Amino acid sequence: MVSYLLTSSNTTSATLRSTSLYTLPFWLLCASNFLFSASFQMLIPELPDHLTRLGGREYVGLIIALFTLTAGISRPFSGKLTDTIGRVPVMAFGSLVCFVCGFLYPYLLTVWGFLMLRLVHGFSTGTKPTATAAYVADVVPADRRGEAMGALGLFTATGMSLGPAIGSWLADAFSINVLFWVSSMFALLSIGILLRMPETLPVRQPFRFGLLKLKANEVFDKQATKPFIVLLLQSFSSGAVLTLAPALSTSLGITNKGLFFTVYTIASLAVRLTFSRSSDRYGRVPVLALSTAVLVVSMILLTLIDAGDPNASVWFWAAGICFGLSWGMNSPTVQAWTADLSDEATRGRAMATMYIALEAGIGLGAVVSGWLLNHFAGEAGLDASFGLSGLLAAVATLYLIGLWRQRNRSTEQSQ
C-alpha cells in the first residue's frame, strides 16, 4: 500500500483543477475525511471515564492536551512532506496512525500506557488535515476556495457529529473495546479510499529521513501569521469544550455525553450548507469577525449554566448551537484565507502553520481547563474555563475588526 502511494499517478494540480468543485477526487477526499474524523472523534466522550477507571482521573486534561501536543509538533514536518513527497502519502499516514492506535487502546490498560498512546494518536491529526487542505487548494479555483472548504467541511463535520454519538452508543450497548475497534476500522476504510486518489504535487521526491530535518524557515510560514494569531485565540475554547463538555453533560443529567458534540456539529453543518460561499463573496476577515463574535456568545452562555437552574439545559443546548454556528463559519474561512495568503510552492507549510495554532490553542485550552476543574470547587472551574475562553475569543474579534478597518482604509486611499 505504501509503495503504491509513493508511486501513484503524478497528475498535476493544474490538470485536476477545473471550474467544477465536484470532481471524483474531491468526492473521494470528502468520503475519506468523513471516516477519518469519525474515527478519532467517536472516542472523545468516553475517554475521560475510561481514564478514570484506569485510575487517572487527575490526568483527564491530558487526554486532549497530549493528542494536540504531538499534532502540533508534527505540523512543520507534515507541511514539508506535503510539499515534497506529495499530498496523498501524508494523508494516508495520518489515517494509518488512527488505525493502529484504535486497535491498541484495549491492550494498554495502565494510565501511562494510555497517555503514551494518546501522544502517538496525535500524529494522525497533525498530518492528514495539512495535506488535505493543500490538496483541496490544488484542485479548486481560487475564487471558490471558501465554498470548497465548506463542502469538504460538511463531510468532516458530519463525521465529527455522528462519531461521538456512535461512540457512546457502542460503549453502552457493547463495550469500550468494541468502540476502539470500530474506530480503528473507520480509519482503515479511510486509507482504502485514498488509494483511488491521484496525486496533485507536480514534482515529488521519494521519502528519506533527511526530509525530517527542518530549517528555521520551514517551521513557520510568515505569510500565515494573521490566520495563526486568530486561530490560536479562537481554538482555546475548543480545548475547554472538548475537556469539560462530558462532565457538564453528566452534571445536567444527560447520559449520552456525545450529544453536545452532535448538537454543535449539526449547527456547523447547517451553516456550511447555507453560507459556504459567504467568505468568497464578502471577504475572509469580515466573516471571521462575525464567527468569532458568535463564539464569544457561546462561551458566555456556558458560564451562565447552573446545574440547579431548571433552564440549565436550555443554556447548554443554546451554547452548543452557537459553538457550532461559529466553527461552521470559521473553519472553511480560515483555511481559505491561509490558502489565499500562501505561495503554491509552500502551501503545505502555510497550512501546517495554521494548524499549529489550532493544536496549540486546543492543547492550552485542555490543560488549563483540566487544571481549573481540579483546583476549583463546584462549578467555579467550569465558569473560569469558559470565561477565559470567551475573553480570548473577544480579543480575536477585536483583532479581526482592526484588520477589516485597516483594509477598508487602504482601499479608500487607493481610490
pLDDT digits (tens, 9 = 90+) for 334-355: 988 998 888 777 877 888 888 8
CA-closest candidate to residue 272, choices 190, 159, 156, 164: 156
**Are the C-beta atoms of residues 368 and 385 closer than 8 Å to each other?**
yes
- Domain boundaries in the chain? 20-202+218-407
Q: What confidence score (pLDDT) does residue 188 get?
A: 95
Q: What confidence score (pLDDT) does residue 19 get?
A: 54
Judge residue 297's burial from the number of C-beta atoms within 10 Å of its C-beta, 0-12 exposed, 13-18 middle, 19 or more buried.
middle
Could you give the CA distance from residue 136 to residue 133 in angstroms, rounded to a whole number?
A: 5
Q: What confidence score (pLDDT) does residue 7 get?
A: 40
Q: What confidence score (pLDDT) does residue 410 get?
A: 67
Q: What confidence score (pLDDT) does residue 92 get?
A: 92
**Are the C-beta atoms of residues 340 and 284 closer than 8 Å to each other?**
yes
Residue ranges of the chain with per-residue pLDDT less than 50: 1-17
CA-closest candidate to residue 164, choices 249, 251, 46, 56: 46
Q: What confidence score (pLDDT) does residue 13 get?
A: 47
Could you give the CA distance from residue 82 to residue 300 in angstroms, rounded to a whole number?
A: 39
Judge residue 271's burial from the number of C-beta atoms within 10 Å of its C-beta, 0-12 exposed, 13-18 middle, 19 or more buried.
buried
| CATH code of the domain made up of 20-202+218-407 | 1.20.1250.20
Q: What confidence score (pLDDT) does residue 9 get?
A: 43
